[in-house]
Amino acid sequence: MTRDGERAIELINELGSRVAHLLSDMVPPAAQVHLLNAQRELITALMLIYENRVAPEPAARRARRARGARRTTRRDRKIPID
């Protein structure tokens, strides 16, 4: 993971913990657990989106996809029209 990704995780965690601290007096404990789980899932989803957008695709996967795109079957050929 890149250093930017690590900073983003730290920032999101810090913001989440500050909001949780502010709401701890108003939100029942069962709801706090639910919100913490939702926060964890949201952070995971955001990081997967970030890594997918920022991190380059491995060279082996790119080469395999390019090779597969060039391969043709009999059905892909032109059909002569009389």
Per-residue confidence (pLDDT) for residue 71, from 0 to 100: 57
What's the pTM value of the predicted model, to 2 decimals?
0.47
Nearest to 10 by CA among 31, 2, 27: 2
pLDDT in tens, the chain (82 residues): 668 778 887 888 888 788 878 877 788 888 888 988 998 898 888 888 888 887 766 666 655 555 555 555 666 777 778 7
Q: Give the domain range for residue 15.
A: 3-56
25 in any annotated domain: yes
How many independent structural domains does the chain possess?
A: 1
What are the tokens at 46? 């955001």
29 in any annotated domain: yes
Query: DSSP letter string over 16-53?
Result: HHHHHHHHTTTS-HHHHHHHHHHHHHHHHHHHHHHHHH
30 in any annotated domain: yes
41 in any annotated domain: yes
- CA-CA distance, 39 to 18, in Å (whole number)? 12
